[in-house]
Amino acid sequence: MKCKQPWTRASMIALIFLPLWTFAQTKMSDVKGIVHSEDNHPVIGATIVIRNTQSNFTTGAKTDTAGLFYASVPAGGPYHFTITSIGFEPKNYSGYQLRPGTTFTLDVSLKAAVGSLDQVVVVGYGTQRKSSLTGAVASLNTENLQQRPVTRVDQALIGQMAGISVKQTTGTPGKAFSVQVRGAASISAGNEPLYVIDGFPLSTAAPGSAGSFGSGNPLDNINPDDIESIQVLKDAASSAIYGSRGGNGVVLITTKRGKTGKAEISFNANAGYSKAVKKLDVLSGKEWIDRATEMINQQWVKSGANRTAAQSNDERRTLLGLPASGIDINYMTDDRWTQPNYGGLKFIDWQDEAFRQAALQNYQLSARGGTGTLNYFLSGNYTKTDGLVKKTDYTLYSVRANFEVKANDRLKLGLNINPSYSITNDPGVEGKDNILHQLVSATPVQLFDAENVNVFTYDRYPWAVSNNSPVAKLLYFIGATRRFRTLTSLYGDYEIIKDLHFKTTVNLDNTDNTSKTYQPNGVTVSSYSTRLASPNAGTYGALSQYRRQTFVNENTFNYNHNFGQAHDVSLLAGFSYNSDYLYANLERSSGGFNYSNITTLNGAVAITGNSTETQNKLLSFFGRTQYAYKGKYLLSASLRRDGSSRFGNNTKWALFPAASVGWNITDEPFLRNVKPLNNLKLRVSYGETGNYNIGDYASIALLTAANASLNNTSVAGQTQGSIVNPDLTWEKSQTIDGGIDFGLFNNRLTGSIDYYNKITSSLLLNVPILATTGFQTYLSNAGRVKNNGWEFELNAKVINTKDFSWNLGGNLTLTKNKLVALPNGQTQIVIPSSLGDAAVHSILKVGEPIYSIYVLKRTGVLSQEDIDKGVPLYTSETAGDPKYFDANGDGVINSSDRVIAGKPSPDKIWGINSTFRYKNFDFAFLVQGQSGGTIYSLLGRAINRVGMSSLENTLGIMRDRWRSAEEPGNGITSKAVTSTTYIANTDWLYSSNYWRVRSITLGYNLGKALKAKQINAARIYITAENYFGHDRYYGGFNPEAANTDVSGSTSFPEAGDYGGLPLPKSLILGLNITF
């Protein structure tokens, strides 16, 4: 809901004399103007018919991509103007006298015809009317963007479009999310789409195996307020024009342009606060003492003959042979646990200590306007988002200038420049053994306050885990990432002959990223005596930097012509050059620091470091033909040939063809009279796309350093580091898509349905090979993955009156993912675990979704009767231990009893959005959810596992644990002290189903109330983001979190949750003013 201007009155602007145009012929008069929609989008291809009602002279003009038109007519009049465009209500102006040598300017605002399907959408290398589209293209309604406190563009995509799944993998502000278009097709080569900003294809996002984007994400530092529209090319027919990078879909982002007319100054501000949507249920101090006492007593009784739980600490000391003040925390409780007020011990709720109410603010000032020869959009933005936990925040300063100069009738030049600078502070909150993980497992009973637990000069509580206070880590760790990015595009568009345009663009994306890390001794060394003895020894510092430069030159010829009113032809031919260079270096301290209080590396005892550079180039030729007969029969075909330096000499080049057809059935005579049906289109497409996301030199055999030691000196050794594959080729996806677009009841109900079937073959897969080759894997093209699904989008203008309107939209995605084949007839690959064999939990198995969960099935708690009956046991289990399902029926429980118990991807994703307007009030909401997937939680495993020590804290379900045959608890939770160990099982498998009200907004338009002439529009609003929702992830905070490398192998990049932050829920007050 952009600021609405009082467009209801006729928007004819008075005659303006422009010195620039005074050279026009004396007998002629110029007419120029802009046609735009009510919400200020340029209307492209609108027809302007100009008729002198006296002389009957008639001429016409069409608007260009900026909505501008121009005509030269004989002076005189009166003139009549008719402006028409498909999807809009026509507009007429009459009775104008045009004086010779002057310019008559029109600013036309067209009202959308109700329920129009005929908006113009951006497609690869051009634009198209939605009615002529033959591929599956999803459009994001960007109206809501400005008033939501989204700090990143990927965040804005959540829940908006069918087929697009955005996983909010992190709760740290400013960090990139994972985006997937139509499911995950690749096992090793990445599944992120290609992002194209204003025609500039950015370097493809490559998440690391821990799920974070270490060397940058294309959406970093992009200011959502600058976005005009977002289109997602989903099927191969539309994305194949991007060839080897189209396999995972293409996201086209268009930023705001200038438009002819007086400057429109717009100021947006919002501010508010956020806090965590949930807290994890862990044991309280009192409950922890209860469990520790039980465990210590049981350990004591088990430790030898004549030892009973009733024995006092003094008696135990005697039996253990300890001195009078000696303690053995395994066998003795703390006397204070039974004293009144617990003898002064502190009970700490660690989550309360670390989480906070965090402030958010965002200010944007922009100006857009133009003279016709120079159009501009300028914006400046400042955003600061504090994180949910102390000391985390994200700050962005960005500026954008989009200029377009019309040098003459044929030549247009443009420049987009977008410098930005961001600072992200994250002391290392998410992931294995990081602050959040330690926070939820920290002992809730302590000697000191939270920030003084085992840090600096404060000693440890003997019965607590030895970690330093995670709250102190938040306070004293430094993890600052400073990123300076400049996106620049320069372009020229030249009309060689009528309707034939040549366009060339030169683009550079330069990112300089510096990350500083500092961890002082006082909060890293877990032993008080070591901290005292060597005050700087455990201090660690690092500085890592990278510079990424993406240079793209694209050149296209575009010919659009309508032959004889019936044949619409659009031809495109082009070539492009694409180079991506990454410089990286890392320096870090070695052996601690010499000084306290110096956080830079000059304080380090020694520094180690290195630097690396990699590069890849892509060269492409492409062409496309689009043909429409009377707007009814639509045909499109494209071909792209890509050559990449990443592939072997035999396979550097590949072809990516696509074709699609469409039929606007409602234009046929036999449907003309079916009243409720305004629009019905059938689309069918087929195309091939690729994925080239492998390392830059994966097809070249590299030497690896393998040093040895001789005579107590390191000696250099080198040997072959991998097996090469000179035939390494592109991962190829073949997609068939069938779709229906429809509009009913005067287009008040519109929607589309798509079915697709995408087979990805020649997977770029690190194929496991026999170790007898000397290697464990090699990169090869093998295996097949199938993704298919249904996508539904529906939009209804339920009520549409002058004072009250209600729009309701929804989308639903149903997907299926299946591994069809593995190389060499293999039927499965069990994914290794970086956490040891007992944590292995996922599998690639033919016939199942990729990365299926493969664990033991937990069936309950063992009773003595079970054991007497001889139910299968896992190692040396006794009553009260977990009971598992003996899948292979061999009478023993072990890792061979694993079964497929779940899959990581949901099979239903849905979103519902709705907007109400009543007079000056507006109200909108977005609800979104998913179901059918599971999360195997490494965090859940870490904080709630069989055989935990009494030191750590654990999940609240341990309250209802099995204590004895008489007190069996809830029948699910096994006993605290066990005689066995844990093995990956369904205990840590949680449903990833959730629903969430992503945003609710209530706004009020002050336009009329203000009555200030300078102010065109003003609106205030309040937004609640993520305020309501529910998930079933009880072993962690965020069912979509990804922060830890699960497999420990780059062959199988799989990211899991080992302590991901909860989502923030925010309350925001905002203001939009337009001058």
Partner 1 sequence: MRNILILLAIFIIASCKTDLDLQPVSSVTTDNFFANSNDFVQGTNAIYNDLLRYPDRLYNLSETRSDNLYAVSDGGVRDWEGVNDFYNDLSTNAYMSEAWVTNYNGIFRANLVLENLADRGNLVTDTILRTRLQAEAKFLRAFFYFDLVRLFGKVPLIDKTVLAAEAATIGRSPVSDIYDLIISDLKYAADHLPSTNGTTSSADTYATADRGRPTKYAAKGILALVYMTRSAPTYSMEGPGLGLNEWQQAADLLNEIINSGNYAFLTSFTDIFSYSNEYNKEVVYNIDYTSGASPSVGASYPGILVPDTYFSAISKNTQGGLTIRPVSTDLLNSFEAGDIRKTFTIQTGYTNTNGQVETRSFLKKYVDITKVPTVTQDWSINFIVLRYTDVLLLKAECVLHGASGSQGADVDAIVNQVRVRAGLTGDKANVTLAELMEERRKEFAAEGTRWHDLVRSGLIISIISAWITSEDVQNKIQTFTPDYIIYPVPKSQLDIAPGLYTQNNGYN
Looking only at residues 777 through 796 of this chain, which bind partner 1 when binding is defined by CB under 8 A? 778
Nearer to partner 1, 175 or 858 (CB): 858
Of the residues 83, 187, 280, 327, which one makes contact with partner 1 according to CB under 8 A: 327
Q: Which of 1062, 822, 1019 is nearest to 919 (CA)?
A: 1019
Contacting partner 1 within 137-176 (CB under 8 A): none
Tell me the one-letter amino acid at 937: S
Contacting partner 1 within 494-513 (CB under 8 A): 494, 496, 502, 504
Cα three-residue angle 485-491-493, rounded to 5 degrees: 160
949 makes contact with partner 1 (CB under 8 A): yes
657 makes contact with partner 1 (CB under 8 A): no
Contacting partner 1 within 1039-1058 (CB under 8 A): none
318 makes contact with partner 1 (CB under 8 A): no
Of the residues 82, 560, 828, 991, which one makes contact with partner 1 according to CB under 8 A: 828
The Cα-based distances of 514 to 204, 236, 546, 827 in angstroms read 20, 37, 7, 44
Contact region for partner 1 (CB under 8 A) — 378-386, 716-724, 755-763, 967-975?
Answer: 716-724
Taking phi over 0 as left and psi of -120 to 50 as alpha, with beta for the rest, 598 belongs to beta
Of the residues 716, 870, 966, 1011, which one makes contact with partner 1 according to CB under 8 A: 716
- Do residues 681 and 662 touch, judged by C-beta distance below 8 A? yes
User: What's the CA gap between 530 and 331, in Å, rounded?
Assistant: 26
CB of 62 to partner 1, least distance (A): 24
The 3-state DSSP class for residue 687 equals: strand
Q: Which of 616, 617, 658 is nearest to 640 (CA)?
A: 658
CB of 886 to partner 1, least distance (A): 13
Q: Which of 1059, 1063, 1062 is nearest to 435 (CA)?
A: 1059
Nearer to partner 1, 780 or 993 (CB): 780
User: What's the CA gap between 195 and 177, in Å, rounded?
Assistant: 14
Contacting partner 1 within 796-825 (CB under 8 A): 824-825
Sequence-distant (6+) residues with CB within 8 A of 150 are: 156, 224
Nearer to partner 1, 484 or 494 (CB): 494
714 makes contact with partner 1 (CB under 8 A): yes
CB of 531 to partner 1, least distance (A): 9
549 makes contact with partner 1 (CB under 8 A): no
* Buried b / exposed e along 591-603 (16+ C-beta atoms within 10 A): ebbeeeeebebeb
Nearer to partner 1, 202 or 698 (CB): 698
- Do residues 214 and 170 touch, judged by C-beta distance below 8 A? no
CA 137 to chain centre: 19
Nearer to partner 1, 370 or 592 (CB): 592
847 makes contact with partner 1 (CB under 8 A): no
627 makes contact with partner 1 (CB under 8 A): no
Neighbours of 258 (CB within 10 A): 23
Contact region for partner 1 (CB under 8 A) — 6-14, 395-403, 749-757, 833-841?
Answer: 833-841
User: What's the CA gap between 759 and 446, in Å, rounded?
Assistant: 57
CB of 481 to partner 1, least distance (A): 23
Sequence-distant (6+) residues with CB within 8 A of 928 are: 158, 159, 909, 910, 911, 912, 995, 996, 998
User: What's the CA gap between 974 and 958, in Å, rounded?
Assistant: 8
Contact region for partner 1 (CB under 8 A) — 266-274, 829-837, 927-935, 1020-1028?
Answer: 829-837
CA 841 to chain centre: 25
Contact region for partner 1 (CB under 8 A) — 252-260, 523-531, 921-929, 1025-1033?
Answer: 523-531
827 makes contact with partner 1 (CB under 8 A): yes
Of the residues 339, 357, 602, 612, which one makes contact with partner 1 according to CB under 8 A: 612
What are the tokens at 993?
């189903």
CB of 613 to partner 1, least distance (A): 4
Of the residues 7, 273, 397, 528, which one makes contact with partner 1 according to CB under 8 A: 528
User: What's the CA gap between 754 and 739, in Å, rounded?
Assistant: 4
Task: Indicate the DSSP class of residue 321.
Answer: T
Give the x-and-dash track for 744-773 against partner 1 (CB under 8 A): -----------------------xxxxxxx
- Do residues 443 and 951 touch, judged by C-beta distance below 8 A? yes
The 3-state DSSP class for residue 146 equals: helix
328 makes contact with partner 1 (CB under 8 A): yes
Neighbours of 130 (CB within 10 A): 20
What are the tokens at 690?
């690729």
Whether the CA torsion 949, 950, 953, 959 is positive or negative: it is positive
530 makes contact with partner 1 (CB under 8 A): yes
308 makes contact with partner 1 (CB under 8 A): no
Of the residues 588, 617, 641, 816, which one makes contact with partner 1 according to CB under 8 A: 617
Nearer to partner 1, 502 or 923 (CB): 502
The Cα-based distances of 147 to 51, 254, 424, 1001 in angstroms read 44, 18, 23, 8
Binding residue count for partner 1, defined by CB under 8 A: 108
Nearer to partner 1, 532 or 1069 (CB): 532
Strand 28-37 to 103-110 pairing:
parallel
Contacting partner 1 within 667-686 (CB under 8 A): none
Of the residues 7, 755, 775, 792, which one makes contact with partner 1 according to CB under 8 A: 775
What are the tokens at 910?
């849905």
Sequence-distant (6+) residues with CB within 8 A of 675 are: none
Give the x-and-dash track for 384-423 against partner 1 (CB under 8 A): ---------------------------x------------
Nearer to partner 1, 750 or 777 (CB): 777
Nearer to partner 1, 508 or 812 (CB): 508
User: What's the CA gap between 442 and 388, in Å, rounded?
Assistant: 19
CB of 640 to partner 1, least distance (A): 15
CB of 510 to partner 1, least distance (A): 18
Q: Which of 541, 517, 516, 529 is nearest to 596 (CA)?
A: 541
Contact region for partner 1 (CB under 8 A) — 155-163, 258-266, 460-468, 682-690?
Answer: 460-468
CB of 848 to partner 1, least distance (A): 15
Q: Which of 684, 687, 778 is nearest to 732 (CA)?
A: 687
700 makes contact with partner 1 (CB under 8 A): yes
Nearer to partner 1, 361 or 553 (CB): 553
Contacting partner 1 within 964-993 (CB under 8 A): 979-983
Of the residues 645, 746, 863, 931, which one makes contact with partner 1 according to CB under 8 A: 645
Of the residues 54, 55, 602, 615, which one makes contact with partner 1 according to CB under 8 A: 615
Name residue 545's beta-bridge partners.
514, 585
